Amino acid sequence: MSQAYAWSAVATIVSASTAGDVLLSHAMKQVGDVSELRRRKGFLALAGTVLRTPTFLLGVTAMATAFYAMLFGLSWADVSLVVPASTSLTFVTNAVAAKFFLHERVDHRRWLAALLVAGGVVLLAL
Amino acid sequence: MTFRKYLVLAGVAIFAVTGDSLVSRGMKHAGAVSLHNLPSIILVVFRPEVALGVFFLLAFFACYMAALSWADLTYVLPTTSVSFILLTLVAKFALHENVSVTRWMGVLLISIGVGVVTQGPSMTHPEKPQQPECVPAPEPARMES
């Protein structure tokens, strides 16, 4: 039963964190290079620009959902199961989502890296 | 990629490991959180270890946002998975957990993955239809006097 709880937490973390990563990446590409913006406009103006970006707020909401799902998961199962399992799956779902939603050029090198890291993270959990 | 940008990526990995480890320790001390006692999962954030962990996770978030502003998601995520190598080292040397050969193999795979992705560009642009390149206008023939 606790395994079912742990894996349902993993499923929630993966969905929420993929949505969060894609939304945040989209938001930060809209904002632009932060170091350059900070130099030009100052830190407060930069923070204001980021906080006023709608996809940033949506991304943070998705990440908060993933964070609380992680807190539940960690209290039910080992950190060595929940963290690597959810993260390894997130690498693969993020590569797919980045290709289709962010239109990143996910070439063979990026796929190989995502799969190697996902596989490595699974091995860490065994 | 500049040295400063590599430092930001290192910040993502180090702050994530520190934050996760502190939150994990705090949650273990707090015991199981029940769905029937929802306030407990909100109040648990005020435990010192969890609060410090959340502080480090905020630092992680700031570095992560900075990285995403100048690099692709599919570059930042594999690169910052160095955090799993660090997590294993913390488990072995700070928490004195038993790290099996399989886990070291996992560390090796992640290291190769990080090596593979860092060989490529940090930012790709969405594929756009090919536009004819601008050909500079030929210089007008000079009138010989």
pLDDT at B84: 85
In the A/B pair of chains, how many CB contacts fall below 8 A? Answer: 153
pLDDT at A74: 78
Q: Could you tell me which residue, A5 or B81, shows the higher pLDDT? A: B81
Q: Could you tell me which residue, A97 or B46, shows the higher pLDDT? A: A97
Point out the least confidently predicted range of A34-48, A53-67, B34-48, B68-82. B34-48
Contact B74 A84 (CB under 8 A): no
Contact A75 B31 (CB under 8 A): yes
Do residues A12 and A82 touch, judged by C-beta distance below 8 A? no
Probe site for chain B from A28, A49, A55 (most B CB atoms < 10 A): A28
* Mean of the per-residue pLDDT values of chain A: 89
A58 touches chain B (CB under 8 A): no
pLDDT at A56: 95
Question: What average pLDDT score do residues A105-111 get?
Answer: 92
The answer to whether the Cα torsion of A36, A37, A42, A47 is positive or negative is negative
pLDDT at A121: 86
Residues in B closer than 8 angstroms to A123, CB to CB, are 102-103, 105-106, 109
Three-class secondary structure assignment of chain B: CCHHHHHHHHHHHHHHHHHHHHHHHHHHHHCCCCCCCHHHHHHHHHCHHHHHHHHHHHHHHHHHHHHHHHCCHHHHHHHCCHHHHHHHHHHHHCCCCCCCHHHHHHHHHHHHHHHHHHCCCCCCCCCCCCCCCCCCCCCCCCCCC
Number of domains in chain B: 1
Tell me which residue of A98, B77, B129, A24 sits closest to A106, measured CA to CA: A98
Tell me which residue of A21, A19, A22, A14 sits closest to A82, measured CA to CA: A14
Contacts of A83 (CB under 8 A, 6+ apart): A70, A74, B20, B24, B87
**Mean pLDDT of residues grouped by 10 in chain B (145 residues)?**
89 91 80 69 81 93 93 92 86 84 93 91 66 51 51
Q: Tell me the pLDDT band of A73, cut-offs 50, 70 and 90.
A: confident
Contact A117 B125 (CB under 8 A): no
Q: Where are the alpha helices (DSSP H) in A33-107?
A: 34-41, 43-51, 54-76, 79-100
CA separation for the pair A3, B23 (Å, rounded)? 21
CA separation for the pair A102, B40 (Å, rounded)? 38
Question: What average pLDDT score do residues A38-50 get?
Answer: 89
Share of chain A above pLDDT 70, in %: 98
The residue segments making up the domain with residue B70 are 3-118
In a domain, residue B105? The reply is yes
Residues in B closer than 8 angstroms to A38, CB to CB, are none
Question: What average pLDDT score do residues A105-122 get?
Answer: 92
Question: What average pLDDT score do residues A50-64 get?
Answer: 94
Question: What average pLDDT score do residues A70-84 get?
Answer: 77
Do residues A104 and A51 touch, judged by C-beta distance below 8 A? no
Q: Using the predicted structure, report yes or no on whether residue A85 has a pLDDT greater than 90.
A: no
CA dihedral B131, B136, B137, B139 (to 10 degrees): -170
In a domain, residue B138? The reply is no
Assembly ipTM? 0.85
Residues in B closer than 8 angstroms to A72, CB to CB, are 33, 35, 41
CA distance A16 to chain B (A): 16
The partner residue sitting opposite B116, judged by closest CB among A87, A109, A124, is: A109
